[in-house]
């Protein structure tokens, strides 16, 4: 049995080239990858972090932005605990596509999913989307907002840690709810997001 | 002086004491010194011995030192000498190399003379192999060196001439061979094609030879593929391969290319050297792309893939709106064959790329020993594959497959739920087997595509369908509750039995609802086992189908499969929910009056009353027989795991109810004795009814009975507060109030004080 108490699934979406893979690499491996190819399908990475002295395992799914991988990537929305929607602050079209992405999220993700809007590449000089425009969009759609640079490691750690903290808080309050409900039950033991992997004996 | 004498005496005495102590201390020190001295004396002897033996060695050491110095000077002399020799040898070595080079150049010049004579004759005789051989030898000579030789040596005009002749002959031969090759292609003269193909590299035309030859192979490929496609289009429905005829055509194309590679690669390697397969394959890939496109065009047209996908996306869109029911759905069965064919196509493309990658990588590793070059070439191979149309096609096929499969899975399960039937003698209905059969089939098909992303997506979709739709159906059925209404239990039982046995329900909504409830409960618990099995089999199936997946990929699959564990959590909650329903409506109302009968019985008995009681129908005999018939009602209709849970529910209910009535009763010794006996027999009875341990459920009751059965109040100290005895489930307060049920009748309350909190 691995040594962690909470397991959360985080899925990154957004147009190809906005820097999703770089954000994930920066966070999980602490580097800015030089010229890797576009993501094929879905990439998978794990990082365990500590929040309030508890081990939290983040399962990070980095999706390909292109349309033709959509039927693969869509299948990951449903069980996501957090969805990071990324655009490139130096590229208007990636911002213009956000409503399309939101529609996808509405359709496939759980309504309770934690949603974060991220404007990436703030190290670049040629900004096209002012901060307040991104902020506005996020607040209109009930999302967290953060601007990052995968290249300069700006706000990347903060992004994922904030997600871990928020989800943990959610899970805890849900656990309390469950606990109350369960006192009436026969066996009274349920684990919520703690990973009761049915395959763990095979790993 | 008014000092008191005694005071002075006392002071003196103290002083004396102190001195005595000091003296003792010094004595002790003295002894220690003596000991140490003795010890040192002993060591002196030892050290003396050592010094003596060392002084004996000194002369020997002197000799050794002298000899070593001599040795050093000899060695430095030698090294000087060898350096001098080395300096003298170096020029000699250089001279020898020059002589070798000279010799080689002379022999090259002789070769050139000979070749220039031979090449013309060979061309005239159309002996191109011979001619090209001469050119080849000429080309092997360092051309710049040759140029220098020719210009330096005035008197070597013959050499210059020979070089000129050979250069002319080379370009002449190049033109001829190109022409001849084209002619051979035109005449479809395979022998000549191969003949001239072998000559290109002799003339330094490697790339050109490969290109021409592969273009020729592409032509052949096109002809064959077109023929295959035509055959495919003419295949009749009656043909047993009709349904996968386009996949077959694609397979033939890939196999054709693989055969070309297998046959011609050795030829290329022999005549061109290793490292040329990449160029060859990138040309063949273009033809492969072209032919794949043509096949897919026909496939799309005849199988109406796009139309069906549009229809599906239309249905999916409408499913959220109200006019959903009006829309005509596609029967998932009608998609079965299509999905199968798409799967085959994808897996063939996957296999083909695997083959190409393996072959070319091997060739690159041999052809480019330089690591840097190797990496570069391998990157180029990646690019050739990833930018090929076939790769795009493959990705599209997978995407389409996933859309079709998702619809198929959802719709088929929907159908399975709607057509749910209960076979006689079964305690689960058809929807469970059907649902898991469908999911297993879909995951198997995904595995057959050879794409891990595909498998993961189908697993994810399966988790979604199970968690939302399937669990929803089960929960809904249990939400209806387990209706009661029969006062005569035997009658209820009979009706339930017959309806279950005959696979249909005879009369009345109640029986129907009861059966539906029990079956749903069974379906849920069986589903838990099915999901567990599904998880295991998927892991092992994928392990077999994709034996070379990386540990990261394996982690990816396992993470997706862990979605099934939340399905299990869900199902467990549903079972619990159902059991609660059952407890509230069918268990509790029955058990309460049976247990409450306890209150009507006297528990302060005399010896005579005791034997009379035991001779008759005791409370416990009646209770057990009632419980027995209650459990029997469910024994046949519940799955064994559900039945076990139910027994647990009954046990918990009985024991908590019994505890309540006991607390309302007062006992004497014999009353306690009977209670202890009866509770033991109840626990024994329930233990035999299930494979689970339910002792735990009776722990409190057993302890209560033990307490009430004590002979004397003081005996409690054998149990209470004695670490080694037993783990108490009763709090001190509870214990006191239980004891008071009996002992207050005979003892004063103060007798209970030694039960400390
Ligand atoms: N300047 C800058 N470039 C970035 C940053 N993040 C990613 N990139 C570049 O953007 C390109 C696409 O990044 P990638 O992570 O592959 O995007 P993805 O398709 O969303 O996964 C790459 O060339 C990266 O080097 C960033 O924070 N700053
Ligand atoms: Mg990417």
Domain ranges of chain B: 205-317+329-394, 420-496+509-584, 601-755
Give the Å distances, CA to CA, from B215 to A135, B190, B266, B279.
57, 14, 18, 11
Identify the burial level of A40 via C-beta atoms within 10 angstroms of its C-beta, where 0-12 means exposed, 13-18 middle and 19 or more buried. Answer: middle
pLDDT grade for B459, boundaries at 50, 70 and 90? very high
Q: CA torsion angle for B448, B450, B456, B460 (degrees, to 10)?
A: -30
d(CA B350, CA B394): 8
- Only one residue has tokens 């508890």, namely A54
The residue-averaged pLDDT of A99-107 equals 93
Note the pLDDT tens digit of each residue in B382-425. Answer: 999 999 999 999 999 999 999 999 999 999 999 999 998 888 87
Sequence length of chain B is: 757
Q: For residue A157, what pLDDT is reported? A: 94
Pocket test for ligand 1, best of A13, A16, A17, A19 (most atoms within 8 A of CB): A19
**What pLDDT, in 10s, does the model give residues B162-210?**
777 777 777 887 888 888 888 888 888 888 888 888 888 888 888 888 8
Alpha helices (H) in B503-606, listed in sequence order:
509-545, 551-561, 563-582, 588-596
Is the distance from the beta carbon of residue A18 to the nearest atom of ligand 1 less than 6 Å? yes
Q: What are the φ and ψ backbone dihedral angles of A45, each rounded to 5 degrees? A: -145, 155
Q: What percent of chain B has pLDDT over 90?
A: 38
The closest of B586, B590, B468 to B521, measured between CA atoms, is B586
* pLDDT tens digit sequence for B316-368: 877 766 554 556 778 888 899 999 999 999 999 999 999 999 999 999 999 99
Q: pLDDT (tens digit, 9 = 90+) per residue, B30-50?
A: 999 999 988 888 888 888 888
Q: Identify residues whose C-beta is under 5 A from ligand 2, the ion.
A: A 20-21, 39
B457 with A71: Cβ contact below 8 A:
yes
Query: Whole-angstrom Cα distance, residue B324 to residue B327?
Result: 6
Q: Considering only alpha carbons, which residue of chain A is nearest residue B537?
A: A199
Ligand 1 centroid distance, CA of A17 (Å): 6
| B583: nearest CA partner in chain A | A186
Q: B460 and A76: CB-CB below 8 Å?
A: yes
Cα–Cα distance for residue pair A45/B658, rounded to 1 Å: 55
**Mean model confidence pLDDT for chain B:** 85
Q: Higher model confidence: residue A79 or residue B101?
A: A79
Contact B460 A68 (CB under 8 A): no
Q: What percent of chain B has pLDDT over 70?
A: 90
CB contact under 8 A, A198 and B568: yes
Q: Check CB contact under 8 Å for A198 and B564.
A: yes
Examine the pLDDT at B441 and tell me if it is beyond 90: yes
Residue B489 has pLDDT above 80, yes or no: no
Is the shortest distance between the CB of A15 and ligand 1 below 6 Å? no
CA distance B474 to chain A (A): 19
CA-based nearest distance B422→chain A, Å: 29
Return the higher-pLDDT residue of B514 and B154.
Answer: B514
Q: Which of A71-80, A171-180, B407-416, B510-519 has the lowest mean pLDDT?
A: A171-180
Q: Per the structure block, which two tokens stand in for B346? A: 């994808």
Q: How many Å lie between the centroid of ligand 1 and the Cα of residue A22? A: 6
- The residue-averaged pLDDT of A90-113 equals 94
According to the model, what pLDDT value does residue A188 have? 32
Measured from the CA of A18, which atom of ligand 1 is nearest?
20
Q: How far is the CA of A149 from the centre of ligand 1 (A)?
A: 9
Q: What is the mean pLDDT of residues B20-26?
A: 91
Three-class SS state of B649: helix
- Shortest Cα–Cα distance, A97 to chain B (Å): 20
- Contact predicate B181/B197, CB 8 Å: yes
Ligand 1, atom 23, lies closest to the CA of A35
Helix axes B619-635, B669-689, angle to 10 degrees: 10
Q: Count of A–B CB contacts within 8 Å?
A: 96
CB contact under 8 A, A72 and B457: yes
Looking at residue A182, its pLDDT comes to 40
Nearest by CB to residue A195, choosing from B464, B539, B562, is B562
Q: Which CATH class is domain A6-183?
A: alpha beta
Residue A19 beta carbon below 6 angstroms from any ligand 1 atom: yes
Q: Give the pairing type, strands A54-63 and A144-147.
A: unpaired
B457 reaches A (C-beta below 8 A): yes
Which pLDDT does position A61 carry in this prediction?
A: 96
User: How would you label A71-81 residue by residue, b for 16+ Cβ within 10 Å and e otherwise?
Assistant: bbbbbbbbbbb
Q: Higher model confidence: residue B370 or residue B749?
A: B370
A141 lines ligand 1 (CB under 6 A): no
pLDDT in tens, B568-608: 999 999 999 999 888 888 888 888 889 888 888 888 878 88
Distance from C-alpha of B247 to C-alpha of B397, rounded to nearest angstrom: 12
pLDDT for residue B528: 95
A185 pLDDT higher than 60: no
Return the higher-pLDDT residue of B704 and A2.
B704
Q: B386 and A37 in contact by Cβ < 8 A?
A: yes
Q: Is the pLDDT of residue B257 over 90?
A: yes
List chain A residues with CB under 8 Å of B579.
186
Predicted confidence band of residue B716 (pLDDT cuts 50, 70, 90): confident
Between vectors from CA B529 to CA B527 and to CA B530, what angle results, nearest 5°?
A: 60
Distance CA B436, CA B534 (A): 8
Number of the ligand closest to the Cα of A31:
1
How many Å apart are CA B391 and CA B384, to the nearest integer?
10
- Angle made by CA atoms B342, B347, B349, in degrees to the nearest 5: 95
Whether the CA torsion A34, A35, A36, A41 is positive or negative: it is: positive
3-class secondary structure per residue, B455-486:
HHHHHHHHHHHHHHHHHHHHHHHHHCCCCCCC
Q: Among candidates B672, B674, B689, B669, which has minimal Cα distance to B624?
A: B689
The CATH number of the structural domain formed by B420-496+509-584 is 1.10.357.50
Lowest mean pLDDT among A183-192, B408-417, B422-431, B711-720: A183-192
First to last CA, chain B: 73
**Contact A82 CB / ligand 1 (< 6 Å):** no
Ligand 1 center to A16 CA (angstroms): 9
Report ipTM for this prediction. 0.87
Q: How many CB atoms lie within 10 A of CB B751?
A: 17
Instruction: Give the integer Cα–Cα distance in Å for B662 and B330.
Output: 64
As a whole number of angstroms, the distance between CA A166 and CA B497 comes to 53
CA-to-CA distance for B218 and B287, rounded, in angstroms?
6
Q: What is the largest CA-CA distance in chain B?
A: 157
Residues of A within 8 A of B552 (CB-CB) are 44
The sheet with strand A144-147 has its strands ordered as A42-51, A54-63, A6-13, A82-88, A114-120, A144-147
pLDDT digits (tens, 9 = 90+) for B444-457: 999 999 999 999 99
Q: Does A139 contact chain B (CB < 8 Å)? A: no
Smallest CA-to-CA distance from B444 within B536, B542, B530, B527 is with B542
Q: Check if the beta carbon of residue B480 is closer than 8 Å to that of residue B517.
A: yes
Cβ contacts of residue B231 below 8 Å, gap of 6+?
A: B249
Phi, psi of A100, rounded to the nearest 5 degrees: -65, -45
CA distance B340 to B245: 11
User: CA B708 to CA B671: how far, in whole Å?
Assistant: 8
For residue range B70-105, list pLDDT tens digits in order. Answer: 999 999 999 999 888 888 888 888 888 888 877 777
Number of the ligand closest to the Cα of A91: 1
| Cβ under 8 Å to A: B residues 521-560 | 531-532, 535-536, 539, 552, 555-556, 558-559
**Band of residue B150 on the pLDDT scale cut at 50, 70, 90:** low
Ligand 1, closest atom to CA A33? 25
pLDDT at B315: 85
From A40, A78, A199, residue closest to B535, measured CB to CB: A199
Tell me, what's the pLDDT at A17? Answer: 94
**Which CATH topology does B601-755 take?**
Methane Monooxygenase Hydroxylase; Chain G, domain 1 (1.20.58)
Q: Atom 11 in ligand 1: which residue has the minimum CA distance?
A: A17
Confidence label for A190 from pLDDT (cuts 50, 70 and 90): very low
Q: How far apart are CA B377 and CA B365, in angstroms?
A: 9
* pTM of this structure: 0.79
Q: Which positions in chain A touch B463 (Cβ < 8 Å)?
A: 78-79
pLDDT at position B461 over 50:
yes
> Does residue B648 sit in helix, strand or coil?
helix
Q: Ligand 1 pocket test: which of A150, A152, A157 has the largest number of ligand atoms within 8 Å of its C-beta?
A: A150
Residue of B nearest to A64 (CA): B453
Distance from CA of B560 to the nearest CA of A (A): 9
- Asked whether B614 and B660 are in contact (CB, 8 A), the reply is no
d(CA B483, CA B513): 7
Contact A59 B536 (CB under 8 A): no
Instruction: Assess contact for B202 and B136: CB atoms under 8 A.
Output: yes
Q: What are the domain boundaries of chain A? A: 6-183
Q: Does B580 touch chain A (CB under 8 A)?
A: yes
Helix (H, G, I), strand (E, B) or coil at A70: helix
Strand partners, A154: A149
- Report pLDDT for B488: 45
């Amino acid at each position: 049995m691995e040594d962690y108490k909470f397991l959360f699934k985080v899925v990154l979406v957004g147009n190809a080239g906005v820097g999703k893979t770089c954000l994930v690499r920066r966070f999980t491996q602490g580097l800015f990858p030089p010229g890797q190819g576009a993501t094929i399908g879905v990439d998978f990475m794990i990082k365990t972090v500590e929040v309030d002295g508890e081990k939290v395992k983040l399962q990070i799914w980095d999706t390909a932005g292109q349309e033709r991988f959509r039927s693969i990537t869509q299948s990951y929305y449903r069980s996501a605990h957090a969805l990071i929607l990324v655009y490139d602050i130096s590229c208007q079209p990636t911002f213009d596509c956000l409503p399309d992405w939101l529609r996808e999220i509405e359709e496939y993700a759980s309504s309770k999913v934690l949603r974060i809007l991220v404007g990436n590449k703030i190290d670049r000089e040629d900004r096209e989307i002012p901060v307040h425009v991104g902020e506005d969009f996020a607040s209109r759609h009930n999302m967290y907002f953060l601007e990052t640079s995968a290249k300069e490691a700006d706000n990347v750690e903060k992004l994922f840690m904030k997600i871990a903290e928020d989800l943990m808080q959610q899970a805890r309050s849900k656990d309390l709810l469950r606990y109350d409900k369960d006192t009436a039950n026969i066996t009274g033991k349920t684990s919520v997001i703690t990973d009761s992997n049915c395959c763990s004996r095979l790993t | 002086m008014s000092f008191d004498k005694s005071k002075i005496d006392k002071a003196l005495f103290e002083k004396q004491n102190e001195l005595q102590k000091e003296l003792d201390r010094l004595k002790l020190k003295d002894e220690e010194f003596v000991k140490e001295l003795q010890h040192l004396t002993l060591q002196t002897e030892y050290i003396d011995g050592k010094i003596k033996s060392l002084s004996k060695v000194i002369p020997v050491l002197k000799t050794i030192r002298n000899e070593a110095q001599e040795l050093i000077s000899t060695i430095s002399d030698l090294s000087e000498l060898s350096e001098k020799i080395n300096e003298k040898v170096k020029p000699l070595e250089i001279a020898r190399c020059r002589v070798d080079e000279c010799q080689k150049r002379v022999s090259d010049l002789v070769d050139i003379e000979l070749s220039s004579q031979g090449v013309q004759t060979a061309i005239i005789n159309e002996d191109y192999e011979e001619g090209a051989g001469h050119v080849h030898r000429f080309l092997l000579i360092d051309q710049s060196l040759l140029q220098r030789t020719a210009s330096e040596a005035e008197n070597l005009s013959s050499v210059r001439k020979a070089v000129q002749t050979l250069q002319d002959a080379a370009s002449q031969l190049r033109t001829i061979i190109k022409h001849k090759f084209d002619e051979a292609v035109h005449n479809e003269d395979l022998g000549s094609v191969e003949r001239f193909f072998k000559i290109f590299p002799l003339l330094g035309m490697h790339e050109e030879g490969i290109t021409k030859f592969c273009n020729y192979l592409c032509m052949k490929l096109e002809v064959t593929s077109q023929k295959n496609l035509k055959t495919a289009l003419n295949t009749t429905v009656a043909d047993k391969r009709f349904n996968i005829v386009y996949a077959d055509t694609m397979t033939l194309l890939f196999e054709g290319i693989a055969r070309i590679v297998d046959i011609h690669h050795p030829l290329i390697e022999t005549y061109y050297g290793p490292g040329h397969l990449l160029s060859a394959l990138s040309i063949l890939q273009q033809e492969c792309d072209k032919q794949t496109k043509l096949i897919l065009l026909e496939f799309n047209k005849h199988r109406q893939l796009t139309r069906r996908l549009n229809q599906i996306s239309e249905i999916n869109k409408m499913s959220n709106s109200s006019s959903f029911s009006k829309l005509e759905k596609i029967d998932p069965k009608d998609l079965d064959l299509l999905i199968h064919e798409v799967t085959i196509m994808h897996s063939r493309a996957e296999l083909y790329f695997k083959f190409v990658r393996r072959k070319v990588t091997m060739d690159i590793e041999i052809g480019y020993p330089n690591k840097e070059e190797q990496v570069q070439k391998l990157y180029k191979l990646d690019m050739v594959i990833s930018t090929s149309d076939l790769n795009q096609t493959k990705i599209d096929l997978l995407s389409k497959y996933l859309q079709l499969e998702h619809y198929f899975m959802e719709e088929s399960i929907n159908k399975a739920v709607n057509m749910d039937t209960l076979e006689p003698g079964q305690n689960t209905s058809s929807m469970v087997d059907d649902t898991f059969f469908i999911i297993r089939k879909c995951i198997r098909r995904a595995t057959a595509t050879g794409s891990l992303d595909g498998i993961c997506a189908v697993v994810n979709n399966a988790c979604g369908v199970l968690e939302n739709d399937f669990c929803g159906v089960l929960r809904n059925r249990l939400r209806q509750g387990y209706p009661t209404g029969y006062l005569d239990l035997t009658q209820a039982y009979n009706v339930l039995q017959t309806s279950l046995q005959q696979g249909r329900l005879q009369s009345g909504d109640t029986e129907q609802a009861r059966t539906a409830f029990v079956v749903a409960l069974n379906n849920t618990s069986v589903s838990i086992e099915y999901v567990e099995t599904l998880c295991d089999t998927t892991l092992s199936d994928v392990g077999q189908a994709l034996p070379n997946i990386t540990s990261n990929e394996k982690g990816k699959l396992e993470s997706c499969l862990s979605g099934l564990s939340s399905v299990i959590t869900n199902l467990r909650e549903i079972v619990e929910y159902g059991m609660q329903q059952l407890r509230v409506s069918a268990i509790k109302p029955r058990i309460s009056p049976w247990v409450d009968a306890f209150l009507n019985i006297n528990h302060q008995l005399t010896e005579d009353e005791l034997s009379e009681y035991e001779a008759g129908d005791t409370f416990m005999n009646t209770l057990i027989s009632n419980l027995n018939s209650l459990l029997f009602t469910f024994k046949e209709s519940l799955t064994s795991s559900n039945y076990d849970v139910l027994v647990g529910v009954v046990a918990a209910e009985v024991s908590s109810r019994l505890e309540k009535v006991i607390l309302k009763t007062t006992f004497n010794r014999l009353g306690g004795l009977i209670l202890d006996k009866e509770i033991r027999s109840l626990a024994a009875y329930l233990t035999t009814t299930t494979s689970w341990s339910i002792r735990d459920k009776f722990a409190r009751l057993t302890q209560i009975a033990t307490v009430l059965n004590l002979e004397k109040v003081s005996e409690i100290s054998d149990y209470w507060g004695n670490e080694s005895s037993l783990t108490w489930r009763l709090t001190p307060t509870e214990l006191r109030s239980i004891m008071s049920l009996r002992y207050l009748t005979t003892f004063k309350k103060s007798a209970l004080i030694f039960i400390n909190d």
